[in-house]
Amino acid sequence: MSRENIFVSGASRGIGKEIAINFAKKGFNVVGTSRGDFDFNLDLDNLKPIKLDITNRDNVHDCFDWLKSKNLLPDILVNNAGITSDQLFIRMKDEEWDNVIETNLTGTFNLSKVFIKNMIKNKFGRIINITSISGLMGNPGQVNYSSSKAALTGFTKSLAKEVGSRNITVNSVAPGYIETDMTSFLEDETRMNIIKNIPLGRIGKVDDVSELVMFLASDEASYITGQTISVDGGLLMY
């Protein structure tokens, strides 16, 4: 990779944390965010945690100004932050819909909008959106979450077509069942039933996702754009 600044939203745990650490260990300057205070607990000067509410546009613009002052405007943006608020549709409250859409979709818009102008100016950029196979196949109780993630696929394709001529690629990564806090609540029987439907016979690991993100950010992936790539052990096949 020829550029050095990485920005990862939702980096306090799980997939986002692994992505941020992976880039930092390879020598890139990494800024990772979370809505609350957090620390990576690693002695790496090039890995910076910051508190940021990506749904608050004033906060996002303040973050842009701070990054610009530190010469840390991202060459590579990883939109990973996301929340769930599962509920059967007939019982879903308005705020359960609004909060998920605002974070997962509008938050991605907010960050991409504020950073893309600098990428266009530099004629280089990588935007990688972390979606979910839930957005590709649907899940009961996740109309809000699946909708937000499905929308990111359209976001990715449309933006890729707009900025491709400026040497900016836009891709999505759609994890399946990955060992994170979001899957730790699964009971043994449920877990085994899920694994039975996965051709590779296991739940994924966070580094399965982070390694793909690293590849999509690299020069080797410079001719890949507008794609949604599943990391699900073969659970969903077209």
Model pLDDT for residues 55-109, shown as the tens digit of each residue: 999 999 999 999 999 999 999 999 999 999 999 999 999 999 999 999 999 999 9
Give the DSSP letter of residue 57: H
Determine, yes or no, domain membership for 236. no
CATH of residue 108's domain is 3.40.50.720
When pLDDT is averaged across residues 184-212 and rounded to a whole number, the result is 88
Determine, yes or no, domain membership for 49. yes
Among residues 91, 99, 210, the alpha carbon closest in space to that of 147 is found at 99
C-alpha span between 237 and 89 (Å, rounded):
26
Q: Are 162 and 153 in contact (CB under 8 A)?
A: no
What confidence score (pLDDT) does residue 180 get? 78
Q: List, by residue number, the catalytic residues.
A: 145
Q: Are 172 and 227 in contact (CB under 8 A)?
A: yes
153 or 190, which is more confident: 153
Determine, yes or no, domain membership for 237. no
Q: Are 9 and 111 in contact (CB under 8 A)?
A: yes
Residues 154-164 as b or e (16 or more Cβ within 10 Å = b) = ebbbebbeebe
Residue 53 has pLDDT above 70, yes or no: yes
Determine, yes or no, domain membership for 238. no
When pLDDT is averaged across residues 116-137 and rounded to a whole number, the result is 97
Q: Which domain holds residue 177?
A: 5-231
Residue 2: band (very low, low, confident or very high) from pLDDT cuts 50, 70, 90: very low
Determine, yes or no, domain membership for 35. yes
Please give the sequence-ordered ranges of beta strands (E in DSSP) within 144-225, or none if there are none.
168-175
Give the model confidence (pLDDT) of 161-180 as tens digits.
999 999 999 999 999 999 87
C-alpha span between 83 and 53 (Å, rounded):
13
Determine, yes or no, domain membership for 204. yes
Determine, yes or no, domain membership for 64. yes
Residue 237: band (very low, low, confident or very high) from pLDDT cuts 50, 70, 90: confident
Count structural domains, the chain.
1
Determine, yes or no, domain membership for 30. yes
When pLDDT is averaged across residues 21-38 and rounded to a whole number, the result is 96
